[in-house]
Every structure is written in structure tokens, then in C-alpha cells.
Chain A
């Protein structure tokens, strides 16, 4: 059978063509193509890795921001609280001082009033005493205007003394 008999010519030319083809393609086609494909594959995987890393970094950054914000908020709250306390304390202090001052003033006023009052009373007493003496003088003058009257009085006084 001719169809299953190998021919030397075809094997010779076939090997020649195939070897030349393989050499040329390996050098000028397969090498650059596979090189570029590998390069691209590497770039893609590197980019993906970088993206993953960036994502993780972003997450930590976000968490950090969150905690920072939290801290700031707490600090703000504390500051507000402090300020409030200080303000109320200041008001309370002011109130205390004012009250004390008022009391002091009140006390002074009361003292001076008392002093004035005492002075007035003394004056009044003196006046009253003067009036009384005058009255008594007048009365005594009247009582002692007659002998009898003088005697009666002396008796009465003497009685009083005896009794006592």
C-alpha cells in the first residue's frame, strides 16, 4: 500500500521545514509573545496585590481616624464639662462674696443704727431726767410751799423709811 509507505523526500523536507520553523518561531515569536504575556500576568498580579494592600491600609487608616475622632470628641466633652463647672463655681463664689459683703454692710448699718439708737436713748433719758427734775422741782416747790405740807412730807418720808 502506497498510502502507508513513508517517503524519504517528505521526511527530509518535513524535518528541514519543521526545524527551521521551530527555530525562527522560538526566537522571533514565542519568546517575545510569552515574555510579554508573563510580564502582563506579573503586572496584573502585582497590581491586585497592591490594591489589596492599599485596601487594608485604608481600613487601618479609617479605624485610626475613627479612634482619633472618638478621642477628640471625649476631650471636647471633658472641656465643656470643665468650663461649665468653672463657670458655675465662679458664679457660686461671686454669690458668696456678694452675700458676705451684704451681710457685712448690713451688720455695719445695724451697728451704727444701734449706736445712733443708744445715743438717742441717752439723749432722751437726759432730756427726760432734766424734765423730771424740772417737774420735781416744780412739784417740790409746790409741796414745800407751806409748813404743813413740809411736815406731812417729812412724816411720809419718815414713815417710808420706818417701814423699810
Chain B
């Protein structure tokens, strides 16, 4: 708890510095808490600790003229599309954490009245190592560290109760194993266990890293791209292992309980729902994780923003305890969402591999 408190103090301190600077630059511009909070939940091209401590990340763009790479520091921390980077005869600007390619002949980004980009196109194939990607590498590194070290324990001792790091990981691994065998019938769960274990710990580690203000709260598992990717994995694995029973449940959900004469009019309504359900399930999986984690991030940032909206440090008396409370809650959510994602994945896979019974 002490560590968390210190970390919170750190993020509040760093936020103070950020806003202090912003106010010096543009006095008339009013602080927009909502925009700031949403911006904070977005992916970024740099690790922004304070305005003085920024880790630039590599930008890798796949354009019509080949791959373009440069460090994000080339934009001079500009995110309003004001600073133009020229590379290989192309002009790039960064606007709201996205990189735009200026049209031929344009020298600066022009925005229309609705604040939309007018004379540039978004670089669609942006393979930059962004904050989320680097966090993902960190997650991979941490997971390999933790689990390869755990595995080492079992090479030495197999018959004794787990100790050290294995004592921490084994109960959770067994918990996921139990979860898988509860939802996937028979011995079939063993085939899917590596995926379920990996996805659980990937989400858990990502969620927990996202709670660290010292890493400027990377919102990796709250990124729709990452949750889309994970939900796709579950969906692909589910579809690849479907058995006849699964499709029977979709296309003949009522089975032998009714005659075909009664079933056909019902199926006109039921079948589209069932077919849509195939896709809605992974979509719900994607949205649930994304929304839960992003909401947590936005709430934390919003609560801290109370201080800046009111422009008085005294508001921290309200803001800090509430942030602390929400952070504690987010710690719970970190475990809960990893569990729910894994459990539902197991459930969906279980429904796909189910063999005929009754």
C-alpha cells in the first residue's frame, strides 16, 4: 500500500508539472478534463512521464514509397499537428497520437471547422513501436521471466509442495486448469490449456502494468486493438475446433422437441439471432475488456483532473483518496477481467468441442 501511495504521489506530482507548463504557454486555453482523460487512455508514440522526462519510441511507417522509420522525438513532442517531419520526400505530422501524411504541396496541417484534418491522410499501416507495443514487450519479458523461473523449480523438485515463485504461480495455474476442465468437457481441455493460461496471464500482467503510474499508465489491455486481437484468437480457436453438435445447436436449436412444421416459422426469427450470436460473443469479449480497463483509466485521470479543473491544490484532499479507492478497485478489476475473459473463452471453446449427449 505504501508503494502504491508513493506511486500515486508521483503521478500527481508529474501531472502538476504538466499542467503548470501548459498554463504558461496558453493562458487563454481552458483545461478540458474530458479530452485530457480520453487522450490519456489512448496509445502514444512516446512514454511521457513529465514534460522533461519523455522516452521517445521508434516510428515505423509503411507508405507507398516504402518503409519510413524515425524516432518519435523528431516531432518535438508536438501532438497538435504543428511540427512537420520531412522524410524521404514525404511530410508527416502527429495529431492526436496519429501520424498523418500531408498532401503534396502542403506545408502545414490544415483543420476544418469541426477540428478534422483537411489536407492530410492518416498513415494506415503504422507499425510504430508505440507505448502499448512496448508495454506488450514488457509483458512478454515479465511473463517469460516469471514462468520460466517457475518451470525451473519443477525440473529440480516435483514431489514437494511448490516454493518461491512457483508457490505463487502454481495456485493460479491450477485455478485456470480447473476453470478449463469445468467448461470444456472430458480431456479436451488439455489441448486448449496453453492458450487459456497465456491469455489469462497476458491480460493480468497487462492490466497490472496499466495500474503503474510510473509507466505513465500504459492502457494496453484497454486498447481496442489488443482486445480485438485477443478476442480474435479465441474466436479463431473456437471456430477451428467446432464439432457437429455446435452447428446443430446453431442451426437446429430446438432439436427434436418440436415438429418441423412448428420449428420452421420459429427459425425465421431464431436462426439470424443464433448466427449473429457466433460473432456477438467474441465481440462482447472484446468490448468488455476494453471498456472495463479504459473506464478505470479514465476515472483515475478524471479524479486527478478535479484538481486542475478547480485550479487549486486543496482539491487533492478529495481527489487523492478517491483516486486511491478507484485504484484499489482497479486492482480487483485487473484480476476479475482477466478471469472473465479466460472463463468465457473456455466456455466458448467448450461449446464448440462439445460432443452429442443426452
CB distance from B131 to the nearest CB of A (A): 10
Is B170 a contact partner of A37 (Cβ separation < 8 A)? yes
The chain A residue sitting closest to B173, CB to CB, is: A33
Closest residue of B by beta carbon distance from A13: B133
Instruction: Give chain A's interface residue range (CB within 8 Å of chain B).
Output: 35 or more
Q: Is the CB of A18 within 8 A of B158?
A: no
Query: By the criterion CB–CB under 8 Å, are A8 and B170 in contact?
Result: no
Q: Are B173 and A34 in contact (CB under 8 A)?
A: yes
**B154 close to chain A: CB less than 8 A:** yes
- Name which of B19-27, B142-150, B320-328 contacts chain A: B142-150
The stretch of B222-230, B242-250, B301-309, B350-358 that contacts the partner chain: B222-230
In the complex the two chains form, what is the Cα distance from A32 to B173 in whole Å?
12
| A14-B130 Cα distance, complex, nearest whole Å | 11
B169: chain A residues at CB < 8 Å are 33
A2 at the B interface (CB under 8 A): yes
A34 partner residues in chain B, CB cutoff 8 A: 173, 177, 193
A-B CB pair tally, cutoff 8 Å = 128
A36 within 8 A of B: yes
Give the CA-CA distance A87 to B127 in the complex, in Å: 114
Cross-chain contact B202 with A32 (CB below 8 angstroms)? no
Question: Do the beta carbons of A29 and B233 come within 8 Å of each other?
Answer: no
Please report the C-alpha to C-alpha distance between residue A133 and residue B318 in the assembled complex, in whole angstroms.
174
In the bound assembly, the distance between CA atoms of A149 and B229 in angstroms comes to: 187
Q: Would you call A10 and B133 a contact (CB within 8 A)?
A: yes
Contact across chains for B126 and A8 when beta carbons are under 8 A apart: yes
The answer to whether A21 and B143 touch across the interface, beta carbons within 8 angstroms, is yes
Q: Which residues in B have their C-beta under 8 angstroms from that of A35?
A: 154
Bound: A17/B140 CA distance, A: 7
How far does the Cβ of A40 sit from chain B's closest Cβ, in whole Å? 6
Q: Are B97 and A18 in contact (CB under 8 A)?
A: no
Please tell me if the beta carbons of A10 and B132 are within 8 angstroms of each other in the complex.
yes
Specify which chain B residues have a CB less than 8 angstroms from the CB of A6 in the assembled complex: 224-225, 228
Minimum CB distance partner of A44 in chain B: B159
Chain A positions within 8 Å of B126 at CB level: 7-9
B125 beta carbon closer than 8 Å to chain A = yes
- Size category of the binding interface on chain B: 35 or more
Contact A9 B147 (CB under 8 A): no
- Chain A's closest residue to B38 (CB) is A3
Contact B225 A33 (CB under 8 A): no
B115 within 8 A of A: no
Are A2 and B194 neighbours in the complex by a CB distance under 8 Å?
Answer: no
Q: How far is the CA of A25 from the CA of B149 in the complex (A)?
A: 11
Q: A144 at the A/B interface (Cβ < 8 Å)?
A: no
Residues A3 and B127 in contact, CB atoms below 8 Å apart: no
CA distance A18 to B234 in the complex (A): 12
- A residues in contact with B96, CB < 8 Å: 2
B136 interfacial contact with A, CB 8 Å: yes
What are 29 A-B pairs with beta-carbon distances under 8 A?
A3-B224, A4-B224, A7-B43, A7-B126, A8-B127, A10-B43, A10-B133, A10-B225, A10-B229, A12-B127, A14-B225, A14-B226, A18-B202, A21-B140, A21-B202, A22-B198, A25-B197, A25-B198, A30-B173, A30-B197, A31-B194, A32-B154, A33-B166, A33-B173, A34-B177, A37-B170, A37-B174, A40-B158, A43-B159
Closest 4 CB pairs of A and B: A10-B225, A36-B154, A29-B147, A26-B194
If A10-B229, A29-B150 are given as contacts, then 18 extra A-B residue pairs at C-beta distance below 8 Å, sorted by A number, are: A2-B42, A3-B41, A7-B43, A7-B225, A9-B127, A9-B128, A12-B127, A14-B229, A15-B229, A21-B140, A21-B144, A22-B194, A25-B143, A28-B148, A28-B151, A33-B147, A33-B150, A33-B151
